[in-house]
Amino acid sequence: MLVSFQIDHPNSLNYRTDSTLPIILESQKRGFKNYVFQPHDVFMNNKGIFAYANQIKFKSQSINSFIISNERILNLNNCKFLFIRQDPPFDMKYITSLHLLELLSKKVRIVNDPKGIRNAPEKILMLQFSKIIPPTLITRSPNEIKNFRVNIVH
């Protein structure tokens, strides 16, 4: 069986704090073939949803003992499971990949629903709990940041 993971590049993961590599190692122990890819690797054509993916294998029980195979085109509809496990950058590559992953066959079990991720960004979702969060500002405006800082300090 095939298991795929949309993740940040494995070499960039913090082995001490990120749980993705232990999940992949456990999947390997259970006999699954595991593939990794990033949002910009996902594409769709008239034949389905695909990703430029690399197989990841562990040489031992050590989390940092993985090897990455050469890239191949993986038909994501052939995966038993697909995990979305990366820190969301919420750029258009990421948003587009979530839209495409949402179109996968219902036979592919997706862990961390793309629609849920897209519709509940962690920085904005908290605004639904305004009574329990500290004073908060979401902006790209340097002036608003300065004003907010001044008002918080005083």
pLDDT digit of tens for each residue in the chain (154 aa)?
999 999 999 989 988 888 999 999 999 999 999 999 999 999 999 999 999 999 999 999 999 899 999 999 999 999 999 999 987 777 888 899 999 999 998 899 999 999 988 888 777 888 889 899 998 888 989 999 999 988 876 6
**Torsion from C-alpha of 104, 108, 109, 112, nearest 10 degrees:** -30
Q: How many CB atoms are located within 10 Å of the residue 13 CB?
A: 20
Tokens representing 55 are 């197989």
Question: Domain segments of the chain: what residues?
Answer: 2-120, 122-154
Q: How many CA atoms lie within 13 A of 87 on its CB side?
A: 8
Q: What is the pTM of this model?
A: 0.82
Q: How far apart are CA 61 and CA 86, in angstroms?
A: 22
Q: Which of 24, 49, 63 is nearest to 103 (CA)?
A: 49
Fold topology of 2-120: Rossmann fold (3.40.50)
Q: How many CB atoms lie within 10 A of CB 124?
A: 12
